[in-house]
Amino acid sequence: MDGDVQTYGSFPSDGEGYAGRIDVVTGPTGRRRWPEHVKAAIVLETYHDGASVADIARRHDISPPQLHAWRRAARDGLLPMPDEEALAFLPVSISGAAGDPPDGRSGPLTLEMGDIRIHVPPTFDATHLSRVIAAVRGAS
């Protein structure tokens, strides 16, 4: 890309001949432009349980304040986020026996959305569950 090349030169003002030294530096210029879909994907990573903004920023080689700015833009509607409906919260009600089974494992989860009931086993992948919820919402 043309924006990735910097050219520096020093030229003497008197006389002809040797023009001096010219350095061509290639690579990032210190200021990167991120496509919106990439920003949105990085912001979505920060919404996962146990995610640290600092760790995610370090993994993607950006500063934590920059990632916080992208999160703020997403909250304000300035950064289009994919699958926003999957990020919405479901109303939760607890019924039946409370607490975890005695062996320390989590029990199954039952989601009710209108007249639809989804039984989720404890080992079900959370990412896949968000796709299932989005599909159910889209179909209803």
pLDDT at 54: 93
Is 2-82 a CATH 2.60.40 domain? Answer: no
Q: Looking at residue 20, what is its pLDDT?
A: 64
H/E stretch holding 37: helix 36-45
Q: What is the pLDDT of residue 1?
A: 45
Mark the ranges of the chain whose per-residue pLDDT is less than 50.
Answer: 1-2
Q: Using CA atoms, how far apart are residues 9 and 48, in angstroms rounded to an integer?
A: 49
Domain residue spans in the chain? Answer: 2-82, 85-139
pLDDT, position 8: 56
Q: How far, in Å, CA of 31 to CA of 40, rounded?
A: 19
CA 33 to chain centroid: 16
Which pLDDT does position 5 carry in this prediction? 53
Q: Check: pTM over 0.75? Answer yes or no.
A: no
pLDDT on residue 26: 64
Q: According to the model, what pLDDT value does residue 39 have?
A: 92
